[in-house]
Amino acid sequence: MKIASALVLLTLLTTSLSKGLDDWSQTEILRAQVHPKVRIIGGQEVEPHSVPYQVGLIINNYQYFCGEALISQNYVITAAHCGIVMRTVDVVLGAHNITNAEEATQITISGEKVILHQDYNDTSYLNDIALIKLSQEVSYSDYIQPIKLPSASDEVYDYQVAIATGWGLAKDVPFPSIRDMSQVLLGVEVAVTNMTDCSGYYNDEEYTWVTSGNICTSGYRNKGTCGGDSGGPLALGGVLIGLTSFGTDLCELCSPSVYTKIDYYLDWIAANSDVTL
């Protein structure tokens, strides 16, 4: 099977680490319970605070962790497969070392409302997009800035080089643990691939995984994401073009990474947030 179920894999990792949690710090729990398929492959540490729109989500008091992007003083955007499990969510902004809550640039704001796309399919990941309304307005700084959204729909990005960022594993390991996670923000340059090739790789008789609402990167030279950096940003020239969504069971297969295509959802974003397009 080519597709990895984000939530099943996350549940398995949480279960496998459930013993002895009382002996761990919250920092260790956060690092341990990042989705095992949420990773940057073939990248490196970014210059600290050079990606000021990058946000981390602590879900259900450290039960899950996802990435996302800041799009206004009141809203962040992420994947619906992250939003669907949320009972509570803390939004961490201005972070480079996500495990260091004492990092001077970090602030944490609780999420007030989670808005899932009404047509999200948690089997095929179609319409894998969600918004989170913050409980208070965030103040911008050198370390916290919103990312621009595309100006028009139906943009074609084929063969352009974008950057995916996030925290998480940097390689496949049999049983991910806290020592395998990245404390610091990682980034990787990835080439946007032709959608015909990407849909041919994933789509089958049972499911249509890749549609016009997606964008893919090639995985060439073993670079990309797997299953997302769940909800984390794919940016091109300072513009948010995708949210990482899913990939193959193993990340180091040089297979395409699949993202939610932002310009496909501009009307939905405008209708459900305070962003003016």
Active site members: 81, 128, 230
Q: Which of 110, 120, 54 is nearest to 82 (CA)?
A: 120
Asked if 243 and 77 count as a contact pair (C-beta separation under 8 A), the reply is yes
Strands (E), the chain: 40-41, 44-45, 54-59, 64-70, 75-78, 89-93, 107-116, 130-134, 161-166, 186-191, 214-217, 224-225, 233-236, 239-246, 257-261
Distance of CA 6 to the CA centre of its chain: 11
Instruction: Determine how many CB atoms are found less than 10 A away from the CB of residue 12.
Output: 14
CA distance 76 to 69: 5
Residues 224, 229, 230, 232, CA torsion sign: negative
Q: Give the pairing type, strands 239-246 and 186-191.
A: unpaired
CA distance 77 to 115: 9
